[in-house]
Amino acid sequence: MDIQAEKLELMKLLLTTDNPSILESIKQIFKKEKSADFWNELTSDQQNEINKADIEISRGETSSYDTFMSSHR
């Protein structure tokens, strides 16, 4: 079954239910999925390091994997 058909099937089930606990469960699934952004779980130091790395990458300040590994062996 493709994704659009699956969505239609779920909509049919949703529209025909009168069970409030089912509706609440579905609502909670969407709330949980929406708030699952890992960025908010990182410390400010971790976020700063990632932002710093992103800037370095955009400036072309990178090295190959082999170069990196050779200095850490």
* Domain residue extents for the chain: 1-36, 37-73
Mean pLDDT score, 37-59: 91
**Could you give the C-alpha distances from 7 to 12, 18, 22, 52, 71, in angstroms and in order?**
9, 19, 16, 41, 51
Per-residue pLDDT reduced to its tens digit, 30-39: 888 776 678 8
9: which residues sit within 8 A by CB, 6+ positions away?
Answer: 1
The burial of 26, by beta-carbon neighbours within 10 Å (0-12 exposed, 13-18 middle, 19 or more buried), is given as: middle
Query: Could you tell me the two tokens for 11?
Result: 């909509």
Global model pTM greater than 0.75 = no
- Are 5 and 11 in contact by the 8 Å Cβ rule? The answer is no
